[in-house]
Amino acid sequence: MIRNTFKNFANLKFAILLLLIISIFSSIGSLIEQNRGIEFYQNNYTNRIFGLPLWKPIVLLGLDDIYNTWWFLFILFLFGFSLVCCTFIQQLPTLNFSRKFFFYKRANQFNKLEFKVKKTKIFQSRLNSHLLKGNYSIFQQYNTLYAYKGLISRIGPIVVHLSILVVLLGSTLGSLTGFNSQEFVPKTELFHIQNIIRTGNFSLVDPTAFRINDFWSTYKKSGEIKQFYSDISILNGKGLEINRKTISVNNPLISHDLTFYQTDWGIVGLRFKLLNTKFINSTLLQLPLSKIRDSNQKLWMSWLPFTKKNGLIIIIKDGRGQVQIYNKEGKFQNTLNFGETIFNMNNIIITLLDCITSTGIQIKVDPGINLIYFGFFFLILSSLISYTSFSEIWLLNIKKNTQHMFGGRTNRSKISFKIELVKLKQLFNDNTI
């Protein structure tokens, strides 16, 4: 009963069904944004299905985090278990059987071969010489001969299964022990991993401290951002720098299991100097900025107060050093660059000193990524090995040196194999294949 159960798991149809289910849910995971806050799904999936807002079944079934749900991991486990059963019940016995040499001792055994030569006188010494040149392994016994080549192709499917298992193991390990964090950090500031957006059940967050030494952007002639950069340092427990790199989009910093990606940028504040000409005193002011939502471009806004009822609206769209100033009614007043000064109706001289930019850093920990790369490498290699042909040739001497039966078979490249047998036929003195 146990063996029959394992055979059912090793069934090809069952494995294909599991692979189809995995593909369907993986496709759903590509269509539905993963690892977003519940507010995102409430705002974007408002259509109703069976009277319920669409976001509710998405969150309830775990479709917002498919690859880390228990049921998806269980399907991966079943698929891996099916591959293990197939390897031990089918592939290994097939390999063991292929390693054994066996001889055809009756003429009717050649009838099942697709390629064969009948009633032919064969010079066996010449045949053996050509088979050896063709990389065949030859075994002889009395009046019969068996030769084969391409045994490595029988190893290919086994390595394919093992490679897939390694990939599944790596992805499961990353799901259970990895995490993603998204941090927005002003330049020159120290930070720790805090804003975790996805974590596995067995994840351990690294307490290491990091520092953003600098952040800057480069621009196209049109004024659009071409690339943005962050200079990051990794610090030890004593605050000493142990690693440093300037990262950009598609150029991350990799340190042990930590990978730092440049993902976004922002502006968190503006620094002004206010000079009151009436009282001849100056004030340094740092204004926080709020990002304007529902905009096709990045815009930040702040309010510069002079009195309880009077002030200026400040708007900035990038870190190049230019702000736009509006009055409280929203009427455009002036444009101000870094270091420039303007006069205000309240006898206040306003000087724009600097803007405080922040960088968006995604920190990813995936302990299983090396296993995944390792598995895919051997998956490609083993797939190529699997396309090697396994060819077998038999020879039976029916009557001493007067009548022979000769034939062969292969699992792939049958046309090339038939051409090979035609060349061998030229060694014989008569009859057909």
Tally of CB atoms within 10 A around 105: 12
Both 55 and 131 in one domain: the answer is no
pLDDT of residue 185: 92
Instruction: Choose the final residue of a domain: 86, 114, 130.
Output: 86
**Residue 302, phi then psi, degrees to nearest 5:** -150, 170
Closest residue by Cα to residue 269 from 288, 292, 291: 288
Q: How big is the CA angle at 217 (ends 211 and 221), to the nearest 5 degrees?
A: 175
Q: CA torsion sign, 69 to 71 to 77 to 80?
A: negative
Contact 252, 262 (CB under 8 A): yes
In a domain, 94, yes or no: no
In a domain, 384, yes or no: no
pLDDT of residue 124: 75
In a domain, 380, yes or no: no
| CA gap 428, 433 in Å, rounded | 11
| CA gap 323, 352 in Å, rounded | 9
Instruction: Choose the final residue of a domain: 59, 86, 113.
Output: 86
Residues in the chain with pLDDT < 70? 1, 95, 97-101, 119-121, 277-281, 293-296, 319, 344-346, 399-402, 427-433
Both 411 and 349 in one domain: the answer is no
In a domain, 167, yes or no: no
In a domain, 331, yes or no: yes
pLDDT of residue 246: 95
Instruction: Choose the final residue of a domain: 61, 86, 111.
Output: 86
Both 243 and 120 in one domain: the answer is no
Both 258 and 352 in one domain: the answer is yes
- CATH number of the domain that 130 lies in? 3.30.310
pLDDT of residue 69: 87
The string of pLDDT tens digits covering residues 190-214 is 999 988 888 888 888 878 899 999 9
Residue with tokens 């150029």: 251
Both 342 and 220 in one domain: the answer is yes
pLDDT of residue 219: 83
Report the helix count and the strand count for the chain, using DSSP H and E: 10, 23
Both 204 and 140 in one domain: the answer is no
pLDDT of residue 196: 86
Both 202 and 349 in one domain: the answer is yes
Q: Where are the beta strands (DSSP E) in 220-280?
A: 225-235, 241-248, 253-255, 258-276
Contact 58, 41 (CB under 8 A): yes
Residue 139 in tokens: 């075994």
Both 316 and 416 in one domain: the answer is no
| Domain containing residue 400 | 101-150+389-425
In a domain, 77, yes or no: yes
In total, how many domains does the chain have?
A: 3
Both 358 and 407 in one domain: the answer is no
**Residue 185, phi then psi, degrees to nearest 5:** -130, 125
Both 327 and 225 in one domain: the answer is yes
Both 131 and 268 in one domain: the answer is no
Distance, CA of 49 to chain centre: 32
Both 289 and 395 in one domain: the answer is no
